[in-house]
Homo-oligomer: A and B are copies of this chain.
């Protein structure tokens, strides 16, 4: 299949089969696709909390407008974006870059200073808005990789962010739950799998100049 077929195959699954679990080898591929997702300046200012525990999924369902996908999916991937940038985030990136690319760390110092000057004075709101955009790239890597593995997914924005953050205990880590992906296998009784995709035509989306 080519990439367009993956995009056509994917749909926002409404009802998962709660008994079918994703094999660990596929979870590792999905994680690798998220790890490879590009981020602004390459800083990767996010964490992903993966929930497999049934009791925890059920607890989170209560904070997600009772959507069945949250508890019936095999795994929940909670994409948490950073709400603050610290000096150490940039130092760690520069260190990682220097080691990965075999460049003496002194040669990357100027770039590190530029990043610090650019980012450390931004407000928490500015940082959150910016890092939240980026987790949508990682989310999309997950969705496409899942489709390539014939794993179903449902992106979820409808949840109580404060309740999630409290439950996951991530406020103190300067993280906030930004978007969630429920992944697993569709239930045979999920009628929405048979619905035709609804999309605008080219002329309603594109303007060519």
List the interface of chain A (C-beta within 8 A of B): 2-4, 6-8, 10, 12, 29, 31-38, 40, 42, 44, 46-53, 56, 93, 96-97, 100-102, 129, 132-134, 136-137, 139-141, 143-145, 148, 155, 157, 179, 195-200, 202, 205-209
**Total copies of this chain within the assembly:** 2
Contact with A198, one of B100, B133, B140 (Cβ below 8 angstroms): B100
What residue of chain B has the Cβ atom nearest to residue A157's Cβ? Answer: B40
What residue of chain B has the Cβ atom nearest to residue A201's Cβ? Answer: B35
A50 touches B209 (CB 8 A): yes
CB of A69, distance to nearest CB on chain B (Å): 14
B29 touches A133 (CB 8 A): no
B100 touches A196 (CB 8 A): yes
What residue of chain B has the Cβ atom nearest to residue A12's Cβ? Answer: B38
> What is the CA–CA distance of A179 and B38 in the complex, to the nearest angstrom?
14
